[in-house]
Every structure is written in structure tokens, then in C-alpha cells.
Chains A and B, each alone.
Chain A
């Protein structure tokens, strides 16, 4: 069964450094998302992406964050200057079509640790 893949599984970065988290969504999916989960807390929406542009973003997704779909397969999340509070599990998700009732399929996540 096709799945969303995320790399790396764990990223350790010094505070202030830039980090890029990578995702390969399911190939025929049209909608892409990033969520984050601070340890022990709920999953929070960051940004959604459709038709090569941001569809919606949350308050968390400030100027330090950006997303890109540089080619036909990858979907990346960049954090320009990481802070300690960016430490979290970051999940990429994709959804197939136009109906909101179709489930979002999640990758296994990237655990980001900021030192």
C-alpha cells in the first residue's frame, strides 16, 4: 500500500541553524500538510498546500517557516533559524482528492531535537 515517507527520522540541530524536513507524499495525492506534536501533547496543524501554494497556515507557522514542493514528488518544511521550542515530532500528511472526508495519510514523522 502506498505510504507517505519522511526523512530523516531524527534530526538533531543546534539552535539558530536552519533545518529542512523532507516528505514524499503518496503519488496521486493533491493536498499536503505539515503538523507538529510537541512531546506528550496533541497534534497541531502548521500548514496546508495545494496547487503549488499555501492553502492555510496556523499561527505557529510564522516567518521562520516555509514550505516548498521543489519537484513533482518532494514536499519540504524549512525552519530558518531554529529555536529550542521547535523541538517536536513533525508529521507530513497527504490527501487524495477534493472531498474533505477523505482521510489524511500521515508519514512516520521526523523527530526534531534542538540543542
Chain B
């Protein structure tokens, strides 16, 4: 069974601070995929980033970066120079790499509410 844990329930930062959102996952699969989604106050779910389990290279995309460490089963997400518009709930999610033709589901964490203030 898959499980995603986001231990931080809520984080509050002042604009321009860097913030890291933690995600720890459990899976028996050797190949899997990890995602971060953002849910702003308007309620929609917005895809942000994904990472394959066989690629541990960490990347930066604009103000977003992520740190994937397979040894500790962690997939942390950092926002650099946070802005008020970053205020949202952020969900980490895990998907198995199933056989072709199988619609693998996403298992979500409980989310971290990020509040960025002026």
C-alpha cells in the first residue's frame, strides 16, 4: 500500500522568505512517480512538478526547486523568495508505475497550508 505523509500542517512565512515543504512517502514499488499539486483558495488543483523514482537529479524551475532523496523516501519542495500569491495548500502525491493500460491512481498527502504575508 502507498502512503504519503506531509507532517507540516501549516506554515506561515513573510514575503521573500524561502520555504520548504516536506513530503515523505511509502511504497513497495521500485518504480513510481511523485508529484506536487497546489490548491489555491479558489479550490482548483494545479499540477506543479513531477519526478520519476529512477531520476534523483534535483532541479530548479524558476522559484520552485525540489529535493528527491530515495534513500530517505523524501520529496521536498522549496519555494524561493515566496510571494503572497503562493498562499495555498500544497499536496504531495505518489503514483505507481503500473502496466501499460492501467490507470494508476494518485495517493495524496494531507496537504500543507502555506500562508505568505507581507
Give A contacts to B, CB under 8 Å. 31-33, 35, 41-45, 48-51, 55-56, 58, 89, 91, 93, 95, 98, 100-101, 103-109, 111
Contact between B47 and A105, CB atoms less than 8 A apart: yes
Contact A108 B43 (CB under 8 A): yes
Partner of A50, one of B33, B47, B101: B101
Query: Given contacts A43-B45, A104-B47, is CB(A95)–CB(B105) below 8 Å?
Result: no
User: Would B43 and A33 count as touching, CB distance under 8 A?
Assistant: no
A104 to B98, CA, bound (A): 15
Which listed residue (B91, B98, B103) contacts A43, Cβ 8 A? B91
Chain A residues lying within 8 Å of B111, measured Cβ to Cβ, are 42
Asked if A100 and B45 make an inter-chain contact with CB atoms under 8 angstroms apart, the answer reads no
Chain A nearest Cβ from B114, distance in angstroms: 15
| A4 nearest CB across to chain B (Å) | 10
With CB as the reference atom, state the residue of chain A lying closest to B6: A42
* Alpha-carbon separation in the docked complex, A31 to B106 (Å): 12
Known: A103-B50, A106-B37. 9 other contacts (CB 8 A): A32-B103, A42-B110, A55-B103, A56-B103, A91-B45, A93-B106, A100-B95, A101-B33, A108-B44
With most chain B CB atoms within 10 A of its CB, the pick from A41, A45, A103 is: A103
A93 neighbours in B (Cβ, 8 Å): 45, 106
Q: How many residues of B contact A (CB 8 A)?
A: 29
Q: Does B108 count as interface, using CB distance less than 8 angstroms?
A: yes
Contact indicator B52/A98 (Cβ below 8 Å)? no
Interfacial chain B residues near A107, Cβ < 8 Å: 44
Inter-chain contact B103/A31, CB cutoff 8 Å: yes
What are 7 contact pairs spanning A and B, CB under 8 A?
A41-B110, A49-B103, A50-B101, A56-B102, A56-B103, A58-B105, A106-B44
A107 to B43, CA, bound (A): 10
Within the complex, what minimum Cβ distance (angstroms) separates A65 from chain B?
15
Residues of B within 8 A of A49 (CB): 103
Complex Cα distance A43/B43, Å?
12
- Over the window 54-71 of chain B, the binary record of Cβ atoms lying under 8 Å from chain A Cβ atoms (1 yes, 0 no) is 000000000000000000
